[in-house]
Structure 1
C-alpha cells in the first residue's frame, strides 16, 4: 500500500481549515454597501473587492461571486466552489488581521472567467489575500 503524501497546507497543527456559515457574507444590504464604497484588488483570474469597518466587532466576512457572463448555472456554481475551497485552505493569511488592525472587514472574491482551475484559483486567492493583508497593515484604519 502506498503511503499518503503529506499536504503542504497542514504545516501548523493549530490551523483550522473550516469555513463556517457565520463567516460568509450574506444579505443584499451588505453587498450593496460593499459595492457602493469599497476598494478593489485584481489578479488575472479573480478580483477582490473589500471594505473595512472601524471596530465593527472585529469580524471577517467573505463572499464569492461568479457573474452570469461566466456561463450557465453549472459553470457558475463550480467556479464559486473552487473559489470557496481555495479561500478555505488559505484563510489563515487574513483571519487574524482584525485583532491586529482592530477593524471589521468584508470582502468578496469575483471570478473573471469560467476556465478557472483549482491551481489558478488558489494562486489568485493567495496572492490577493497577501496583497490585502499588506495593504491593511500598512495604512491607518479608514473612516
Structure 2
C-alpha cells in the first residue's frame, strides 16, 4: 500500500467498498459471522481471487429513523477506515485470497445511547478486525 517514507493512506477507494445487493447477500448467506457488541461482521474468504479487501456497511431497520441509521453507517465506515491498515499490515505477510466484509449494526434490547458513541463503535470494529485476522490466519 505505502512505500517506505510515505504516510499511510487512510481513504477508502471505490473498489475497496462492497456494493450491490448480490454482493451483500452472498456474504451474508455464505460467510461466517463475528460479533462485538451490537456490531456483527460477516466475512467471506475467496481463495481463488487475488488478495483484496472489500467492506460494506449496513444498519438494521430496527433503528427506526433514517438519519440515525445513516449516522451509524458513517461511524462504522470511519472506524473501519482508521483501523483497517493494522489488519492489512499484518495480512501482507501471507495475502492469499480476497476477503469480503459486511459490518451490520443490530441494536440489542434495552440498548442505551452510550453504546452508539464513536469510541464504542471504533473499539468494536478494531476488536472485530483483530478476531477476523486470527480466524483468517488460522485457516491458511
TM score, norm. by length of structure 2: 0.84
**Distance across 2 between alignment mates of 1:94 and 1:52:** 15
Distance in 2 of aligned mates of 1:15 and 1:98: 14
Q: Pick the structure with greater CA Rg.
A: 1
Structure 1: tracts of 5 or more residues without a match? 1-11
Structure 1 segments, 4+ long, off by >4 Å, are none
- Superposition CA RMSD, Å: 1.8
Residue correspondences, number: 129
Q: Does 1:119 align with 2:112?
A: no
Q: 1:98 to 1:108 in 2, by over 3 A?
A: farther
Contact 1:98 1:105 in 2 (8 A): no
1:58 and 2:35 equivalent?
Answer: no
Cα drift, residue 29 of structure 1? 1.4
| Secondary structure, counterpart of 1:40 in structure 2 | strand
2:14 pairs with 10, 13, 21, which one? 21
Alignment of 1:47-126 (within 5 A): 47-96=40-89, 97=91, 100-113=94-107, 115=113, 116-126=116-126
TM-score, normalising length from structure 1? 0.83
Flag structure 2 segments of 5+ consecutive residues without an equivalent: none
> Which string of whole-angstrom CA distances, capped at 9 and with x for unpartnered residues, describes residues 95-130 of structure 1?
342661411100111112283110010000000000
